[in-house]
Chains A and B, each alone.
Chain A
Amino acid sequence: MLLLSYLGWRILSKPWLETSFLALLPRSEQQPQLAEVIQRQQYLLNRKVVWLIGASDPEQAVAEAKQLHQRLQQTGLFAKLTLTVPTQQFAQRYQQLFNYRYQLLTPELSTLLANDPKALIAQNLGLLNSPLGQLEALSLAQDPLLLFSRYQRQQLPLALNLVQEVPVIQAQQRAWAILQSELHDGHLQLDKLEALQQLWQSTQQTMRRNGGELLATGLPLFTAAGAASAKQEISTVGLGSSIGILLLLWWTFHSVRPLLLSSLAIASGLGAALVVSVWVFGKVHILTLVFGASLIGVADDYAQHLLCDSLGERQWQPYKSLRAILPALSFGLISNLLSYAGLGFSPFPGLQEVALFSAVGLLVAWLTVVMVFPVLLTGFNFSHQPTILRLTQLWEQRWPQYLLQQWRKLSLLALAFISTGIYQLSPQDDVRLLQSPDQQLAAMADNIKQLLPVLPDSQFFWVSGQTMSDWFQNEARLVAALRTLKQQGALSDFQSISQYWPDRQKQQDNYQLLKQHWYANGQLASYMQDLGFAKASIKKELQQFAAAQAHYLSLEQWLANSDEAKQALWLGCQQQGCQSIISLNAVKQIPALAALSQLPGVVWVDQVQSVSELFARYRARASLLLAMAFTLATCCLCLKFGWRQALAVISVPSAAVLMALACLGWGQQLFSLFNLFALLLVLGIGIDYGLFFLEAGERRANTSLGVTLSALTTLLAFGLLALSKTQIVHAFGFTVTVGIITSLLCAPLVGFRKLG
Chain B
Amino acid sequence: MAKWLLLAVLLCVPLLPCANEVNLQAIEQRLMNAPITQGNFSQRKFLKVLHNPLLSSGRFIYHQQQGVLWQTQVPVASMLLLNDNRLISTEGEQDLPVAVAKVFKALLGANFQALAPEFTMVGQVGNGQQPWQLNLTPKTDLLKKMFANIQLNGDSELRQLTLVEVNGNRTELLFSALEHPTVLTSAQLADFARLSHP
A residues apposed to B, CB below 8 Å: 58, 87, 122-123, 125-132, 134-135, 137-138, 140-141, 153, 156, 159-163, 168-171, 175, 450-452, 531-534, 537
Contact = CB atoms under 8 A, between A and B. Distances in A.
Given A156-B95, A170-B85, A450-B198, A125 B45 contact: no
Contacts of A140: 47, 49-50
B169 A138 contact: yes
Contacts of B52: 532
B47 A126 contact: no
Contact of B43 (A131, A135, A137): A131
B146 interface: yes
19 contacts: A58-B98, A129-B43, A130-B89, A131-B70, A132-B82, A132-B87, A132-B104, A153-B95, A161-B97, A170-B85, A175-B85, A451-B198, A452-B198, A531-B50, A532-B47, A532-B51, A532-B53, A533-B49, A533-B50
Contacts of A532: 47, 50-54
Given A122-B76, A126-B76, A138-B167, A132 B94 contact: yes
B146 to A, nearest CB: 6
Contact of B75 (A123, A125, A168): A125
B19 interface: no
A380 B141 CA distance: 88
B167 A130 contact: no
Interface of B: 43, 45, 47-54, 56, 70, 72, 75-78, 80, 82, 84-87, 89-101, 104, 146, 163, 165, 167, 169, 171, 173, 196, 198
Given A131-B173, A135-B96, A126 B72 contact: yes
Contact of B91 (A127, A137, A451): A127
B50 A130 contact: no
Given A132-B101, A162-B97, A141 B48 contact: yes
A130 B87 CA distance: 12
A126 B91 contact: yes
A158 to B, nearest CB: 9
Given A131-B43, A140-B47, A170-B86, 18 more contacts: A58-B84, A58-B85, A125-B56, A125-B78, A127-B78, A127-B91, A129-B78, A130-B78, A130-B89, A131-B171, A132-B96, A132-B100, A132-B104, A140-B50, A175-B85, A452-B198, A531-B50, A532-B51
Contacts of B94: 132
B80 A131 contact: yes
A125 B76 contact: yes
B51 A534 contact: yes
B49 A537 contact: yes
B77 to A, nearest CB: 8
Contacts, number: 106
Contacts of A87: 95
Contacts of B173: 131
A173 to B, nearest CB: 8
Contacts of A134: 96, 146, 165, 169
A149 to B, nearest CB: 11
**A130, A153, A163, A452 — which one has the most chain B CB atoms within 10 A of its CB?**
A130
Contacts of B146: 134
B72 A531 contact: no
Contacts of B99: 163
Contact of B198 (A130, A163, A171): A171
Given A141-B49, A159-B95, A161-B85, A132 B198 contact: no
Contacts of B87: 132, 161
Nearest to B141: A164
B126 to A, nearest CB: 28
**A58, A134, A141, A159 — which one has the most chain B CB atoms within 10 A of its CB?**
A134
Contacts of A163: 97-99
B80 A132 contact: yes
B45 A137 contact: yes
3 nearest A-B pairs in the assembled complex, by CB-CB distance: A126-B78, A532-B50, A161-B98
Nearest to B55: A129
A531 B52 CA distance: 7
A207 B111 CA distance: 32
A135 B76 CA distance: 19
A128 B198 contact: no
A125 B90 CA distance: 12
A141 B50 CA distance: 9
A143 to B, nearest CB: 11
Contacts of A162: 97-98
A123 B89 CA distance: 12
A162 B169 CA distance: 24
A159 B93 CA distance: 7
